[in-house]
A and B are shown apart, each in its own frame.
Chain A
Amino acid sequence: MNKNTELFIRYIDHDLSESELNLIEKQLDENSELKLEYENFHQKYLLSKKEIAIDERYFSTIIPNAKNRIVNRKFNYYKKIGIILPILLIGFIYFFNSSSNKFDFKEDFPELLQTFINDYELATDLISNAAHIENTSNISDEMLNEYYEEELNFDPTVFEYLEENVTSNDISNNVLNQLSENEFNTLYQELKNKKIL
């Protein structure tokens, strides 16, 4: 790069002091070689700034495109809300349903009992007969509940329910009618063996 270029850059950029400016202008007037050098530089300067021909139609599309994106973003935002909100609602409903899903004796106990019948036939007999015996022999609910818990591995939630809400009369009314005499005797013996009676 020519040594005078630095001076020309500052000259064009109006970055010279007054004395420097006066000096260079005087030299440009007097020194034809320097003047030619400056003109070459100035040509390059102008060339670098020369406007470039462009397709002006592009600029008429910028604002509509940007606005479309704004609308699409809003739409996407609502779409996201539309997807997320129902999922959250379903989640909440499921959560509250499961947490407030209280054991309904009348509806749920027979079904639960059926499960026990399938898996623990003897257990069913014991539950039923114990209740019957209690009904006739004044066994306390507390004793029965303890027995259910220890011997039959009751689901804790069911046991809690039984402890709080179900009296042995409920059980006897719902279940005992189905027992045979043999089943009754088995349970009776079992309770005797466990020293509950």
Chain B
Amino acid sequence: MDQDKERSLIDEFLNGNERSFNELISNYQKNIYWHARRMMGNHFDADEITQQVIIVLYKKLDTFRFQSSLKTWIYKITQTRCLNLLKKKKLKSFFNIDEADNFIKNNNNDIITNFEDKEKLERLNTILKELPIKQREVFIFRHYDELSYEEISQITGKSIGGLKANYFHASKKIFGMMENE
């Protein structure tokens, strides 16, 4: 969807057209979900983040000033939510509060129905979890979301050189681990 189309959908939504919002979000909801899923490693958290991001967009779209692209703005919101939830989970695990994790483990309500795909994703998630958060986020943005370094830099506020280094180290680890499997 080009920027002019996005702009006109946003204007229509701000003038009360709910359908325009739905159309706009339909274009991004998979990106939001998959980014969150890879960052968090499970459907339950990814679903929660996706909905949170949509709620934020619904309420705050009037504050979007087109200074960046809508895509990077949405990814920025998504990434912030992911990092916040990861911090919260880390804190919970520090205090041994693992009710949520137990719930996730026991929750079969996943959108991946194919067992083979599920296993493959699990393996990838295990590998991704081995990465430090900074490397994981850059790898996901670059490898899966296929964003340019400029876009990732706009989202994360980090230098392109630093991002390239992080991506390189992350790739080395991931493909190295895949080789050992």
Q: A residues engaging B (CB < 8 A)?
A: 1-2, 5-6, 9-10, 13, 15, 41, 44-45, 47-50, 52-55, 58-59, 62-63, 65-67, 69-70, 73
A122-B30 Cα distance, complex, nearest whole Å: 88
Contact with A along B44-72 (1 / 0, CB 8 A): 00010011001100110000000000000
Closest Cβ–Cβ distance, residue B138 to chain A (whole Å) = 11
Interface size bracket, B side: 20 to 34
**Majority SS of interface residues in chain A?**
helix
How far does the alpha carbon of A127 sit from the alpha carbon of B22 in the complex, in Å? 82
**In the A-B complex, the 5 residue pairs with the closest CB atoms:** A1-B176, A66-B54, A58-B111, A9-B171, A55-B111
Q: Are A52 and B175 in contact (CB under 8 A)?
A: no
Flag whether B108 is at the interface (Cβ < 8 A): no
A48 — which chain B residues lie within 8 A by C-beta?
Answer: 124, 143, 174-175, 178
- Name the contact of A52 in the complex, choosing from B47, B121, B164 (C-beta under 8 A): B121
Q: Which residues of A contact B175 (CB under 8 A)?
A: 1, 5, 9, 41, 44-45, 48
**Nearest CB in chain B to that of A54: its residue:** B111
Which one of B3-11, B77-85, B112-120, B151-159 contacts A? B112-120
Query: What would 11 A/B residue contacts be, using CB atoms closer than 8 Å?
Result: A1-B176, A5-B172, A9-B171, A9-B172, A13-B142, A13-B167, A13-B168, A62-B33, A62-B50, A63-B26, A66-B54
A-B contact count, CB below 8 Å? 82
Contact of A53 among B47, B114, B171 (CB under 8 A): B114
The interface of chain B, by Cβ under 8 A from chain A, is: 22, 25-26, 29-30, 33, 47, 50-51, 54-55, 58-59, 111-114, 117, 120-121, 124, 142-144, 164, 167-168, 171-172, 174-176, 178-179
